[in-house]
Structures are given as C-alpha cells and as structure tokens.
C-alpha cells in the first residue's frame, strides 16, 4: 500500500492527539478505517500534570479494548470519589474496577499512543490546523504552513480552545466564571505548610513535587483569560498565606475557572467534535478523561459504519443525542461541587445541608453511579429511533427491560462444551468486545437466533453463565439499580451498551440490527 500524501483524500482525520483523539483513532482503526491524527505539539511532551486519573466506567471501556492492565500497571487504585465533603465508596459495586485509578496524563497518552501505533494509526506532529472548508463530499483542512489536507470526515479533539469547533461555527454555552485558580509546579526558598486549606476565597493546596512544590491556589480576583505569570502566582499565594514562599523557577503555571461550558452541537455536516472541544469544566471530580473516552467510543463505531457505507449519515445524529444529555448531567454535578469549594458561612451551610441529604446509602450510591459513569442509560428503543438520547437519570418509568441502554455487566462466561469456568472455554463479556464489533451474547436455546447478513458486523457467541467471578459477585446486577431479570440474550454495541434484550425468541432482533447496524447484506444484494 502506497504512502498517502496531503493531496490524497483520507477517510477520517482527527485533530488532537490527547486521550480523546487517540481513543477515537483506535476505535476507527479497529473498524478498519484509515485514520490520521494531526497534532500541533511537535513532541509528546506535556506542560503540567493535567489529568490525574479516571473512574470505573473509563477503566471498563479500556478493559473492553484489552488496555486496562496497561494502565493498572502504572497507576494507583484508590477510593477517591467524593461529592463535596461526602466520600463515596464504590466497594461492593458490580464492576471489576470499583475504584479510581490515579495516573497523570503523560502516561495515559503514552499508553494510548502505543496502542494506536500497534493498530497502524499515523500521528503527524508539528501540524497546526487553522480552519477548514467542507462540501457535500469532503472536508479540506487548512494548515498553518499554507498546505491543506482533504478528508471525508473531520473530528475535532483539539481541546477547550478548539479551532475545529470555532471554525465550524459551533457555539459553547455555560455560566460565566466567578473565580479562577492557579495550578503550578515551582521551586521555593522556604518550605511551605503542606496540605489543603479552604477559606472564603476557595480551595488551596501545597504538596511536595519532584524537585519543588505543587501549588493549587484560588486567586483573590477573577483572573483574565490569558496565560498566568509567576507574578500572578506570587500575588495569589500572598493573599492566602501572607507570603509567596519565595517562588521561582516555575516548571509550568496554568489557570482554570469554576465555569462549565458545553457545545450546542456536536456535529456540523462532516465535522464532529469530542472531548474538551465539546465540553469544558473545572477538574473537580476528575471527570475530564472519562467524558472524552466515552465520547470517543460512542462516536467511533458510528462514524466507522457511515464511512464504510453500512449506515446512513443520520446515524451520526445519535452521537449528540446520546452524549450531550449524559455529559450535561456530569457537568451539572461538577459545577455544584466547584461551588462547595469555599469556606464562607453560606457555602458551609450549603455543604452541611447536602451532606445531610446524601447521608442515606441509596443517595450515596446514586451519586457514586453518576460520578463513576456506571449509571448511564441510553435510549436505544426503536420507537425512539437512533436520534434519541439518554435519560436524564438512571431510572426510567416505562416497563422495558432495565438492561436496555445500559453498559453490559462484565460477567464470567463459559463458551466451550466442556469448560468448567477455568479452561479454554472460559471468558467474560468485556473480553468479547475487544475486536470493537457488535456482540450477540446468546444464552438461550441453540439455533433460536440468527444474524445471517450481519456476520461482518456482529459476533454471535453462544455461551452460558459461569460461577460468579470476583468482580461481579452475582450475575445481572446493575450499579445503583440492583438485581435485574436474567435475559436469554443481549445484543451489545461496540461501546458496551445493550441495544436489544432477548426473551428466548428473536422478536425485535433483526429490526434492531437494521436500525443500528445497517441493512442486512442479504437485503443489500
């Protein structure tokens, strides 16, 4: 196969080689789509620590692609989930990963980069995108060096200041900021008092860093939307601690505010946005990596089916319909948590009231489900259509099967005729999703279900449940919801969400496959 050039038309181009862009590239490459990532940074070096980890659902998604062990080998599992001053313990949740994984963004990107390179994805560094023009057939990407790049579809994963979003004319909406914070790694001439402090201004923290001090400080006044200076940091430290501790030698300094913002649209024709390009928020709660990864796995298989011609372009509308409401829920919780990071009397009173309201076990489990990402339910009903989105909460009033639209539990399975749960036929649900294809998990009578015409997109796996494994103490348990009726079969999307639940017959199966996977090959012939 010849090397492609900038004058060729590429299938999909992603702008941004952060976690969202790399995850998206991997999803497309798994589906056999030719994808190139354009990254402005000339090297893999990062300024600052940025993300510090991710939660349970993100780990499950990474496990669905066979990547979880790579991250676990470098990160630290901790019980770090909380809402304000209310700790949330995931112990006992029906997941193999009932914890937060502490890991900074540099190794996260390195691991994902290694994966996409294994899949043959090309990452072009030092390439700055300045805009684009699109028509009905393709997108022409404009580059800072005067060149151009033609692609069938363009995905902007280029961060909160996304060039792609702005060039697409997509508006971002959200409340204005009320305060700003500085994050930095610096040297000091005097050792500061270590630990966390909360006062009328906000939250502050000083901790040791390799060769220096890690600083989080709330500024006395809302800072400008510009890169902060060492002088800004000194002023903020003095306002809180009465001294700047002789700060010097900054490795990096960055500013963020307490606002959130969300794009009004995630798609403009052949251009889509994901991750921080689609939504921004303060780092409170550690939601950033997870939201971007969930965007990527939701969009990846849909875009792949459209590029291959298996599904119409209208399938792409379900990306925003599903991800926009789900992300809006999380942003609302982040905004609330950020409000609680003050020590004034009003905030303390609010915190005490919330702590009392969330003292019950069910309330805490509901918050844990929201923040860990384990409670998301998408509206995948055929009467709603692929344009429908997730419910506003984990519960729904209708009488459809509670598994429908939720992430599939990672149950232990036996697929071989002689397997005892520990032999060649032993596997688990998430391991069956590693190819990135649709999965029909068939637990019923042999010969009842047939996916003829969809074999190129759907893996049909007859199986039976094995004895309960350590990560899932009882079969068919859902986070927050609890036990649910055991199905005879489930059709699972490549992103791990259940699209169809079988009752022992194939009622609705082919209709679901046609709506979400595209027409049967038999029909198309």
**Grouped pLDDT means (10 residues each) for the chain, 525 residues:** 58 97 98 97 76 90 98 93 84 93 93 97 97 97 96 97 97 94 95 93 92 94 93 97 96 92 97 97 87 97 97 96 95 89 88 86 90 93 54 50 96 72 74 97 93 94 81 79 93 98 94 93 63
pLDDT of residue 1: 33
Q: What does the pLDDT read at residue 40?
A: 96
Backbone φ/ψ region at 108: left (φ over 0), alpha (ψ -120 to 50), beta: alpha
User: 180 forms bridges with which residues in the sheet?
Assistant: 257
Q: Could you give the strand order of the β-sheet that contains 464-465, starting from the edge strand earlier in sequence?
A: 426-428, 412-414, 464-465
Cβ count within 10 A of residue 447: 8
pLDDT at 91: 87
How far is 194 from 215, CA to CA, in rounded Å?
A: 10
Nearest to 283 by CA among 82, 52, 21: 52
- For residue 41, what pLDDT is reported? 95
Q: Residue 10: in which H helix or E strand, if any?
A: strand 9-15
Q: How far apart are CA 513 and CA 495, in angstroms?
A: 15
pLDDT of the residue at 311: 95
- Kindly give, in sequence order, each residue whose CB lies less than 8 Å from that of residue 253, ignoring residues fewer than 6 positions away: 182, 183, 184, 186, 227, 228, 229, 230, 232, 233
- pTM recorded for the entire structure: 0.91
Q: What is the rounded distance in angstroms from the CA atom of residue 300 to the CA atom of residue 121?
A: 14
What CA–CA distance (Å, rounded) separates 300 from 304?
6
Rounded to a whole number of angstroms, the CA Rg of the chain reads: 24
Distance (Å, rounded) from C-alpha 282 to C-alpha 216? 13
d(CA 508, CA 495): 20
End-to-end CA distance of the chain: 29
Classify residue 5 by burial, with Cβ atoms within 10 Å: 0-12, 13-18, 19+. Answer: exposed
Give the three-state DSSP class for 355. Answer: helix
- pLDDT of the residue at 398: 53
Q: Strand, helix or coil at 501?
A: strand
Q: How far apart are CA 283 and CA 281, in angstroms?
A: 6
Residue 96: predicted pLDDT: 95
Torsion of CA 243, 248, 254, 255, to 10 degrees: 20
Predicted pLDDT at 418: 47
Residue 386 pLDDT: 47
> How much is the pLDDT for 493?
98
Q: How far, in Å, CA of 120 to CA of 13, rounded? A: 14
Name the packing angle between helices 288-308 and 56-64 (round to 10°).
Answer: 30
C-beta of residue 199 within 8 angstroms of C-beta of residue 240: yes
Q: How far is CA 367 from CA 4, 281, 477, 520, in A?
A: 48, 18, 18, 41
Q: Are 233 and 184 in contact (CB under 8 A)?
A: yes
CA distance 520 to 514: 7
Nearest C-alpha neighbor of 439 from the set 475, 505, 493: 493
Q: How many CA atoms lie within 13 A of 372 on its CB side?
A: 35
Spatial CA neighbour of 222 closest among 238, 202, 250, 244: 202
Give the pLDDT score at 356: 86
Question: How many other CB atoms sit within 10 Å of the CB of residue 8?
Answer: 12
What CA–CA distance (Å, rounded) separates 460 from 439?
A: 6
| Length in residues, the chain | 525
As a whole number of angstroms, the distance between CA 154 and CA 119 comes to 19
pLDDT at 56: 95
Of 230, 282, 231, 225, whose CA–CA distance to 251 is shortest? 230
């Amino acid at each position: 196969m010849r090397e492609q050039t900038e004058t060729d038309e590429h299938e999909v181009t992603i702008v941004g080689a952060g976690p969202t862009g790399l995850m998206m590239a991997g999803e497309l490459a798994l589906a056999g789509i030719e994808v190139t990532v354009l990254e402005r940074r000339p090297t893999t070096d990062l300024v600052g620590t940025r993300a510090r980890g991710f939660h349970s659902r993100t780990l499950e998604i990474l496990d669905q692609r066979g990547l979880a062990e790579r991250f676990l080998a470098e990160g630290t599992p901790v019980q770090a989930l909380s809402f304000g001053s209310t700790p949330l313990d995931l112990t006992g949740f029906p997941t193999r990963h009932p914890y937060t994984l502490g890991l900074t963004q540099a190794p996260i990107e390195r691991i994902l980069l290694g994966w996409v390179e294994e899949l043959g994805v090309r990452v072009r560094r030092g390439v700055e995108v300045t805009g684009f023009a699109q028509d009905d057939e393709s997108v022409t990407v404009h580059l800072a060096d005067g060149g151009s790049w033609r692609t069938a579809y363009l995905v902007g994963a280029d961060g909160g200041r996304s060039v792609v979003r702005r060039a697409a004319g997509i508006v971002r909406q959200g409340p204005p900021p009320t305060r700003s914070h500085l994050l930095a790694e610096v040297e000091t001439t005097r050792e500061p008092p270590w630990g966390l402090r909360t006062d009328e201004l906000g939250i502050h923290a000083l901790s040791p860093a390799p060769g220096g001090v890690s600083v989080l400080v709330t500024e006395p006044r809302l800072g400008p939307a510009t890169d902060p200076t060492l002088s800004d940091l000194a002023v903020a430290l003095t306002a809180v601690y009465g001294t700047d501790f002789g700060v010097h030698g900054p490795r990096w300094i960055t500013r963020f505010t307490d606002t959130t913002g969300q794009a009004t649209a995630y798609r403009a024709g052949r251009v889509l946005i994901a991750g921080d390009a689609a939504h921004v928020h303060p780092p409170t709660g550690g939601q950033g990596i997870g939201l971007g990864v969930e965007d990527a796995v939701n969009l990846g298989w849909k875009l792949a089916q459209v590029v291959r011609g298996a599904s119409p372009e209208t399938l792409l509308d379900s990306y925003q319909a599903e991800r926009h409401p789900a992300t809006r829920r999380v942003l609302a919780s982040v905004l609330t948590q950020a409000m609680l990071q003050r020590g004034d009397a009003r905030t303390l009173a609010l915190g005490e009231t919330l702590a009392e309201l969330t003292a019950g076990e069910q309330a805490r489990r509901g918050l844990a489900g929201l923040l860990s990402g384990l409670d998301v339910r998408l509206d995948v009903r055929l009467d709603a259509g692929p344009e429908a989105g997730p419910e506003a909460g984990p519960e729904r009033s209708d009488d459809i099967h509670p598994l429908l639209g939720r992430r599939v539990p990672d149950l232990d399975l036996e697929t071989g005729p002689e397997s005892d749960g520990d032999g060649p036929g032993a596997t688990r649900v998430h391991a069956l999703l590693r190819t990135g294809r649709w999965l029909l998990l068939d637990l019923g009578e042999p010969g009842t279900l047939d996916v003829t015409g969809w074999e190129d997109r759907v893996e049909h796996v007859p199986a039976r449940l094995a004895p309960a494994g350590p990560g899932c103490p009882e079969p068919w348990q859902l986070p927050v919801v609890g036990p649910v009726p055991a199905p005879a079969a489930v059709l699972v999307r490549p992103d791990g969400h259940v699209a169809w639940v079988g009752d022992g017959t194939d009622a609705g199966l082919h209709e679901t496959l046609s709506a979400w996977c595209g027409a049967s090959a038999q029909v198309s012939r």
